[in-house]
Amino acid sequence: MRATRLRRPQHRPLNRYPATLGSANIQRVDSSVSPPGLRATPAPATLLVPLVALVVLAWLIAADRMAGMDEGAFTDPGTFGFFVSLWVVMMAAMMLPSAAPMVMVHAAVERRKRQVGRAAHPGATLAFGAGYLLAWTAYGVLAYALFQLLRSLDVEPFSSADGERYLAAGLIAVAAVYQLTPLKNVCLKKCRSPLAFVVGSWRDGRLGGMRMGVAQGGWCVGCCWAVMGTLFALGLMSLAWMAAIGAMVAMEKLVPWERAATLGSAGLLAVLALLVALGVA
């Protein structure tokens, strides 16, 4: 008697999903735009061109507006309107490079939806980026308010060069310690997992894209608020410090060695705090 050859059933390789993606989250996005679909249909490389152009433009605008304004530690941020407009440009220059993978994954989902005939929403990825910057703008407004409050109280550290130096060193030391906290670790993982975040938090439409961007920006603020606060202590109008802090943020989010990157950034901040306290930096 001829043996019947049994075919193995074809299963989706669910074990290839990140551990943070449960079945409930995967079902929130149609199977046509699930992670295997994204691998087959990557985000168009042409998306990198406008992203790079936007970042370069942001750096050029920041350099132009900040020319001659760097006064070192605790530089006066200017009027509220001037600060907010400059802060948005600064965040685009400093944070969009490390947020690019998240933007690319969001664009890939929208592109896949169009390919399979599902309703896609032009501008949803742009809204995602806008929501991300909105979260950082809110952080900037709070930091500005706190800065101006301290100045209005005529706090002693603001009235002497030595006091400013020690206060700056203390803020940088706080940022170094925060790098080693559990909260920092939780927020950083959200920032380092573009696929897990987009699939697990998907919302349709431009409003949905903005909500996702605000949520991701919130995790990013939770991850980097302390490091970004050092910019006020080192020199808010300094392109050099902008570049250094932006590079540190990108290193933490993009290099494959997460723990080493976190420990490295904490060590760099600790050394910088010491150098500032000694008046070397």
User: Per-residue pLDDT tens for 45-77?
Assistant: 667 888 889 999 999 999 999 988 888 888 889
Domain assignment of residue 35, yes or no: no
Residue 38 has pLDDT above 70, yes or no: no
Residue 39: pLDDT band with limits 50, 70, 90: very low
User: Per-residue pLDDT tens for 225-263?
Assistant: 999 999 998 988 899 999 999 999 999 999 888 888 899
Domain assignment of residue 223, yes or no: yes
pTM: 0.81
- Per-residue tokens: 67: 């020319």
Average pLDDT over residues 115-135: 85
Query: Residue 218 has what pLDDT?
Result: 96
Domain assignment of residue 193, yes or no: yes
SS3 101: helix
Domain assignment of residue 212, yes or no: yes
d(CA 67, CA 61): 10
Residue 278: pLDDT band with limits 50, 70, 90: confident
188-191 CB contacts, 8 Å cutoff, 24+ apart:
188/223, 188/252, 188/253, 188/258, 188/262, 189/258, 190/216, 190/219, 190/223, 191/98, 191/102, 191/216, 191/219, 191/220, 191/223, 191/253
User: Per-residue pLDDT tens for 142-201?
Assistant: 999 998 888 777 766 566 667 788 888 999 999 999 999 999 999 999 999 898 898 888
- Per-residue tokens: 236: 């808010």
Query: Residue 178 has what pLDDT?
Result: 96
State the amino acid at position 280 in one-letter form: V
User: Is there a contact between 236 and 245 (Cβ–Cβ < 8 Å)?
Assistant: no
Query: Residue 171 has what pLDDT?
Result: 93
Which residue segment(s) compose the domain that 203 sits in?
45-277
The candidate with the shortest Cα–Cα distance to 157, out of 237, 277, 66, is 277
Domain assignment of residue 213, yes or no: yes
d(CA 91, CA 82): 14
d(CA 186, CA 178): 12
User: Per-residue pLDDT tens for 117-126?
Assistant: 776 678 889 9
How many structural domains does the chain have? Answer: 1
Query: Residue 118 has what pLDDT?
Result: 74
Q: Please, what sign has the CA dihedral across residues 140, 178, 245, 218?
A: negative
Query: Residue 60 has what pLDDT?
Result: 95
Using a 10 angstrom Cβ sphere, with 0-12 exposed, 13-18 middle and 19 or more buried, the burial of residue 31 is exposed
